[in-house]
A = this chain, B = another copy of it.
Amino acid sequence: MKKISILATMLLICVTTFAQQALWGGSQIISPEIHENNTVTFRLRAPKAVKVEVTGDFLPTQKMDTPYGQFDAPGVAALVENKEGVWEFTTPEPLASELYSYTFIVDGLQMNDPSNIMMKRDVASITNLFIIKGGMADLYSVNDVPHGTVARRWYNSPTLQENRRITIYTPPGYENNKQNYPVFYLLHGSGGDEEAWIALGRTAQIMDNLIAQGKAKPMIVVMTNGHTQNNASPEETNRAYTPAMGGGPREAVASMEDSFGDVIKFIENNYRVKKGKANRAIAGLSMGGMHSATISAQYANTFDYVGVFSAPPIAAMMGAGNPGAEEAQNAFVKKLETQKKNGYKLYWIACGSTDFLYKSVIESMKKMDEIGFKYTYHESTGGHTWDNWRIYLSQFAPMLFN
């Protein structure tokens, strides 16, 4: 085979050289370059550009006023051009271990880093990613541990009268034993779809690592698409693409909450699951957090574990003061009273102190206190962002099915 290897190498060189000159060419620039001390250099070859900047969550945030209040917007840093037309910026300080996102801004135009193939779709944009290892982000990295399987499937929803795409993580060993596993339903936010928790939430890596460390029980993780106007992520749907979050190409025939029984039925008919509420958990971020609260209240005695990340469990709290809001709050509080009577093991609420939904989360908990509805509250720093949601997942999963 030696000879063929040499020839295969020739082919590689040949095709590589061609590709670099042609449309799909990679770049010879190294960016981002993570230095030994965890400072990071970003580079872009742009000899004709007048101004090149980088923006991302590795930079200190800047305050931004909006009609909805003050937000923490990602910072912006300027790159400096060298003689070869390559622009550069190095972080002044080492970065903490995290999974970071960034894009370049070239003469006002956002563009991805052509030297970095680590890219994920977030809502309707593509962002570049990089990981600083050696700390918390080791949990988000692919490590040399047993890996679970990630399957993209379609299930039928009689309630929604259609087939819908779903992402399912099964733990290492699932295919080679006869054990039954508990199930964790993990729901995305209003900008997401069935790819969000896998792509940006790093669910497969987090679960692989927690299970390998003995910190989480082996479990099946089910990631649905929570927009009932859509049946799949925009890249995988047969419907017209809708650039905005939410909305969609058709009117929904039912809500995600009302159709969730179809998901549970599909999973329990298609996987080796442990049944009963002690073996079911549901959690989500933002809209998915509100879904988790409403679904766990609506499906009586179905979930022993509920996680509400960066969202008010009483969704109507978002509109506090508006007409109809109090009515909706009271109606939901009645459901919580029933849920309290039925019992559960963990109701975990997590929110960042600068989250734009912080106030409604606090108000929700006040209401819950009034009726003696038990919950565990975790307050973190930061806002309505993926770094918080990955951390919440890492904290929530170890508390399940113990």
State the A residues within 8 Å of B (CB).
Answer: 1, 3-12, 14-19, 21-28, 44-50, 55-57, 64, 66-68, 71, 73-74, 101, 103, 106-112, 114-115, 117-119, 121-127, 141-144, 146-147, 149-154, 163, 165, 175-176, 189-191, 232, 234-238, 241, 243-247, 255, 257-258, 270, 286-287, 290, 294, 315-316, 318-319, 324-325, 327-328, 331-332, 356, 384
Q: Could you say which of B5, B111, B146 contacts A112, with CB atoms under 8 Å apart? A: B111
Give the Cβ gap from A111 to chain B, nearest Cβ, in Å.
4
C-alpha gap A11/B366 in the complex (Å): 21
Q: Could you say which of B23, B64, B103, B142 contacts A236, with CB atoms under 8 Å apart? A: B142
Chain B residues whose CB sits within 8 angstroms of the CB of A107 once the complex forms: 46, 48-49, 107
Majority secondary structure of chain A interface residues (helix, strand, loop or mixed): mixed
Are A121 and B125 in contact (CB-based, < 8 A)?
no
Q: Could you say which of B7, B121, B245, B316 contacts A19, with CB atoms under 8 Å apart? A: B245
Q: Quick one: copies of this chain in the complex?
A: 2
Are A22 and B74 in contact (CB-based, < 8 A)?
yes
C-alpha gap A287/B101 in the complex (Å): 34
Give the Cβ gap from A355 to chain B, nearest Cβ, in Å.
11
C-alpha gap A119/B47 in the complex (Å): 26
Q: Could you say which of B114, B118, B124, B176 contacts A110, with CB atoms under 8 Å apart? A: B114
Q: A3-B328, A146-B163 are in contact. List 17 more A-B contacts (CB 8 A).
A: A4-B315, A7-B316, A8-B190, A8-B290, A10-B319, A15-B190, A15-B384, A16-B245, A17-B68, A23-B57, A23-B103, A26-B125, A106-B109, A117-B235, A117-B243, A126-B126, A147-B163
